[in-house]
Chains A and B, each alone.
Chain A
Amino acid sequence: KAGVTQTPRYLIKTRGQQVTLSCSPISGHRSVSWYQQTPGQGLQFLFEYFSETQRNKGNFPGRFSGRQFSNSRSEMNVSTLELGDSALYLCASSLRASGQNTGELFFGEGSRLTVL
């Protein structure tokens, strides 16, 4: 079974631009979460989607948004990029269904964003 696939793996943007990151979960997984990892703040939860609905959102500004499609694939978008948005963005999928507690997450390799 293929793992979680994230694209692109690396990208460089300049301040003010926007970026879209893509995540394909493991087949059969309907829950997709996004995390931001930086040296200073560590791993921080961005949001979680299930069946095309955002179920949870972390403490990030509105410039960070996401969506999930009917095939469970997910995208996240960051608009008006700032230098501090440079990070490794990790997507994770799970079998977590509505009303269940979060169990094991399966992570992709991440998209490393550099903002210049």
Chain B
Amino acid sequence: SQQGEEDPQALSIQEGENATMNCSYKTSINNLQWYRQNSGRGLVHLILIRSNEREKHSGRLRVTLDTSKKSSSLLITASRAADTASYFCATVGSGNTGKLIFGQGTTLQVKP
């Protein structure tokens, strides 16, 4: 079963606006990762945040992690049409199982 739940399921914004996606999970984690997928293609890793970190930045991306609420958010600033894709959070359990548990994803559409 999926551990992560993402909110919203779909998001439509104009170019230049910010996009925020949220992810919730159920069990303790070692790290949480965000991936992007363009239209049924492979996933591309965006950013990884460890359980002892609260915030991380990478270019236009900002990720926060609140382990007390078991939630994370991904903020994309100054969005571009090329950011149109599905975004998934994935958790790695603290038990070192070697697998990622993915959320259902947020579909982002950025209109030019």
> Is A26 an interface residue when CB atoms closer than 8 A count as contact?
no
Residues of A within 8 A of B (CB): 4, 31, 33, 35, 41-45, 48, 50, 55-56, 58, 88, 90, 92, 96, 99-110, 112
Query: What CA separation (Å) do A41 and B2 show in the bound complex?
Result: 8
Q: Is the CB of B2 within 8 A of A101?
A: no
Looking across the interface, which residue of chain B has its beta carbon closest to that of A58? Answer: B99
* Interface stretch of the complex, out of B15-23, B41-49, B60-68, B69-77: B41-49
Q: Is the CB of B99 within 8 A of A48?
A: yes
Shortest CB–CB separation between residue A101 and chain B, in angstroms? 5
Query: What CA separation (Å) do A86 and B48 show in the bound complex?
Result: 30
Shortest CB–CB separation between residue B9 and chain A, in angstroms? 11
Residue in A31, A43, A55, A107 whose beta carbon sits within 8 Å of that of B44 in the complex: A107
Which chain B positions have C-beta within 8 A of A103?
31, 48
Which chain B positions have C-beta within 8 A of A42?
2, 102-105
Query: What CA separation (Å) do A109 and B43 show in the bound complex?
Result: 8
A-B contact pairs, 14 of them (CB 8 A): A4-B42, A33-B99, A42-B102, A42-B105, A43-B102, A44-B102, A56-B97, A58-B99, A101-B30, A102-B99, A104-B45, A106-B45, A108-B42, A109-B42
Residues 23 to 48 of chain B near chain A (Cβ within 8 Å): 30-31, 33, 35, 40-45, 48
Tell me the interface secondary structure of chain B in the complex.
strand
Q: Is the CB of A109 within 8 A of B41?
A: yes
Residue in B35, B98, B102 whose beta carbon sits within 8 Å of that of A102 in the complex: B98
Looking across the interface, which residue of chain A has its beta carbon closest to that of B6? Answer: A42
Looking across the interface, which residue of chain B has its beta carbon closest to that of A112? Answer: B40
Query: A48-B98, A101-B31, A105-B33 known; 5 other A-B pairs, CB under 8 Å?
Result: A45-B101, A90-B42, A96-B98, A102-B30, A102-B99
Which chain B positions have C-beta within 8 A of A104?
33, 45, 48
Query: What CA separation (Å) do A55 and B42 show in the bound complex?
Result: 23
Q: Is the CB of B105 within 8 A of A101?
A: no
Residues 90 to 112 of chain B near chain A (Cβ within 8 Å): 90, 92, 96-105
> Is B88 an interface residue when CB atoms closer than 8 A count as contact?
yes
Looking across the interface, which residue of chain B has its beta carbon closest to that of A96? Answer: B98
